[in-house]
Amino acid sequence: MKPLPALSVYSASKAALNAFTESLALKAGLFDVRAKLVLPGSAPTTGFGKNASPGWA
């Protein structure tokens, strides 16, 4: 979860979704309901490394 200069909207969207999930978990917890957010990481593909777009490394 780190902001990337070339992907400001994407980074902001992920941060907003994380904050929403944390708030939802607190509220839903009152009813014994859990809320979880899965944040998958990157996978080493040809899109990364020397072929990566600026801001992706």
Q: Do 19 and 28 touch, CB atoms closer than 8 A? A: no
Place of tokens 């607190």: 26
Question: Which stretches of 3-53 are DSSP H helices?
Answer: 8-29
pLDDT at 51 over 80: no
**Rounded CA gap, 5 and 3, in Å?**
7
Q: What is the pLDDT of residue 36?
A: 93
pTM higher than 0.85, yes or no?
Answer: no
Q: What is the pLDDT of residue 20?
A: 96
Q: What is the pLDDT of residue 39?
A: 81
Q: What is the pLDDT of residue 47?
A: 59
Mind listing the pLDDT tens digit for each residue in 1-43? 677 778 888 888 888 999 999 999 999 999 999 999 998 776 6
